[in-house]
Amino acid sequence: MSSIPYDQMTGKIWLDGSLVDWNQAKLHVLTHGLHYASSVFEGERVYDGEIFKLTEHTERLIYSASRLGFEIPYSIEEINSFCREVVKVQKIENGYVRPVAWRGSEMMAVSAQNSTIHFAIAAWVWGSYFDPKIKLNGIKLDISKWKKPAPDSIPWDAKAAGNYMINTLSKHEAEKNGFNDSMMLDYQGNIAEATGANVFFINQEQTEIYTPIADSFLDGITRRTVIEIAKKLKLKITEKKIKPDDLKSYTGCFLTGSAAEVTPVSQIGIYSFKVLDIIGKLSEEYQLLVRKKIVT
């Protein structure tokens, strides 16, 4: 994470059609997105000057907006071009890109169908999401009291701001209790995901990898990428419902996400896991893939 407050960083941010100075990328206090969470975003990694899986991220961003009932006024090609421009202007070799779209301040009520849709892109240098020393030995997760809502109660498959409030509450509580992150359950009490990453488990024989079915939380782009890598390594991947009590039967655990990349887990609540070589291999293969400078 940056040691500088994000509003005090320098450079340019792409905002509503042009590059503006970082400290001039502002919105009004009565913006609908601030009050009613009508905002969607993406988190993208830059490796060796290239944005990994850029088109997939842009497609999901546009889909997320449609799930919230609005349309971003730019095409996939235009958004991709804007993202690359920001990375170039900011001279980012390895970092993070945050595109975000939101409803403006023309209407201040639950209904805001005539509000202007705003769009911004920021990019900055960013290293590991978790402390590298802690990550080496596996991070520790609490189990959150907050559950992922039923899929018919929120736009669960959108990367929407409002969906993350319980994630923030969960992570804050975990950190207060001495953990690095929190494991969240779904509305039925099954293992779902961490606060900003998907989760995988490895059986005791280290012959099979399990991951929850993504039916009430995001099927992450990194999640899908790691599944593809595992299959190429001839590892068996099974998506299934996983109960908290099932965790005692697993030897290894790791998280995946654009920010988290591949992060080993040493503890979830009362359950302990080993940082297995297979996790290191998946991480190594992931790093080889993202640094090939393939434009997607």
| Share in percent of the chain as helix, strand, coil (round to 5) | 30, 30, 40
Note if 53 is an active site residue: no
Cα angle for residues 96, 100, 104 (degrees, 5° grid): 155
Q: What are the CA-CA distances from residue 171 to residues 66, 101, 131, 200, 212 (Å)?
A: 28, 24, 15, 19, 20
How would you class 281 by CB atoms within 10 Å of its CB: exposed for 0-12, middle for 13-18, buried for 19 or more? middle
Helices (H) and strands (E) in the chain, counts: 7, 16
Backbone angles phi, psi at 150, to 5 degrees: -60, 145
* DSSP for residue 14: E
The number of residues in the chain equals 296
Question: Closest by alpha carbon to 192, among 267, 255, 131?
Answer: 255
Question: Closest by alpha carbon to 38, among 155, 151, 122?
Answer: 155
How crowded is residue 143: how many other Cβ atoms within 10 Å of its Cβ?
18
Q: Are strands 236-240 and 95-103 parallel, antiparallel or unpaired?
A: unpaired
Q: Are strands 181-186 and 139-148 parallel, antiparallel or unpaired?
A: parallel
Question: Closest by alpha carbon to 86, among 164, 15, 138, 152?
Answer: 15
Of the candidates 147, 159, 281, 293, the residue annotated as catalytic is 159
> Which residues participate in catalysis according to the annotation?
159
